[in-house]
């Protein structure tokens, strides 16, 4: 099936405190955005890539795409206020020729092409599929630094990206969410609200999300190991 990729890279990265947008922070000598571009460049049958960046970073993103040697069209746009706004803007730029859309956070530089392919294949089959890992720790709900409850972790997963969906379904989910004033932190949530099935594709803990300075330190160690 024809597929468009969306890389959301428009976050400010304020929790990282790097003094520049998170997707343009370097890891192992390349920006986080470059890591994701290289991964999608390795996918088969990809029609195009749409990248959201903070306003003013469009030229830099095009330069990254050139450096990554992308051979398919790369569209770059300023993102929106929330991640959901960025995805909606990117989605509106995807080609109507595409049957599927796969969305990825630039904040996850270690997602493999194989993980993308597994999500795309599962979404082609069932409408939607997301990378996720089973929760390993015991979860506590905490109020004012005191444990209020222990949550059973059986059946709980941490949602990651990539997340892939039939394009029309995802557009519908975003339009309905916007009309209803719903903001969600991932795309699967919006599709679930339509009562549609979304499959889990079990990923690896390696597909970590860089949010804080210590995440970046861990990622640097991993990048150095992978480079050996
Ligand atoms: O902030 P957080 O790490 O949860 O963002 C997840 C991803 O969404 C990041 O790759 C970030 O660049 C992107 N994002 C975006 N537009 C926003 C907020 C976040 O593209 N307004």
Q: pTM (2 decimals)?
A: 0.96
Instruction: Tell me the HSE value of 15 on the side-chain side, using a 13 A CA sphere.
Output: 9
| Per-residue model confidence (pLDDT) at position 150 | 97
Report which ligand 1 atom has the smallest distance to the Cα of 105: 10
pLDDT tens-digit profile of 94-143? 999 999 999 999 999 999 999 999 999 999 999 999 999 999 999 999 99
The tens digit of pLDDT for each residue in 86-105 reads 999 999 999 999 999 999 99
81 Cβ below 6 A of ligand 1: yes
- CATH code of the domain in which 76 resides: 3.90.550.10
Q: Report how many domains make up the chain.
A: 1
Residue 178's closest CA among 55, 52, 54, 81? 81
CA distance 215 to 219: 6
Pocket test for ligand 1, best of 5, 6, 10 (most atoms within 8 A of CB): 10
pLDDT in tens, 24-75: 999 999 999 999 999 999 998 899 999 999 999 999 999 999 999 899 999 9
Residue 120's domain spans which residues?
Answer: 3-227
Task: Give 200's contacts (C-beta < 8 A, 6+ positions apart).
Answer: 129, 130, 132, 157
> What's the count of helices (H) and strands (E) in the chain, helices before strands?
7, 11
């Amino acid at each position: 099936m024809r597929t468009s990729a969306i890389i959301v890279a428009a976050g400010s990265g304020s929790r990282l405190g790097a003094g520049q947008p998170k997707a343009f922070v370097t890891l192992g000598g390349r920006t986080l955005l470059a890591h994701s571009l290289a991964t999608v460049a390795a996918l088969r049958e990809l029609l195009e890539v749409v990248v959201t960046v903070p306003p003013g970073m469009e030229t830099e993103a095009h330069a990254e795409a050139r450096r990554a040697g992308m051979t398919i069209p790369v569209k770059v746009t300023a993102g929106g206020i929330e991640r959901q706004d960025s995805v909606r803007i990117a989605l509106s730029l995807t080609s109507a020729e595409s049957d599927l859309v796969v969305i990825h956070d630039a904040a996850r530089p270690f997602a493999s092409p194989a993980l993308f392919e597994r999500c795309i294949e599962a979404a082609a089959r069932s409408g939607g599929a997301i990378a996720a890992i089973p929760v390993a720790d015991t979860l506590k709900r905490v109020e004012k630094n005191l444990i209020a409850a222990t949550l059973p972790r059986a059946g709980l997963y941490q949602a990651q990206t990539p997340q892939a969906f039939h394009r029309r379904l995802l557009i519908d989910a975003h339009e309905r969410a916007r009309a209803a004033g719903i903001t969600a932190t991932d795309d699967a949530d919006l599709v679930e609200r339509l009562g549609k099935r979304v499959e889990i594709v079990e990923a690896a803990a390696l597909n970590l999300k860089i949010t804080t300075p210590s995440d970046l330190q861990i990622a640097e160690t991993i990048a150095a190991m992978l480079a050996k």
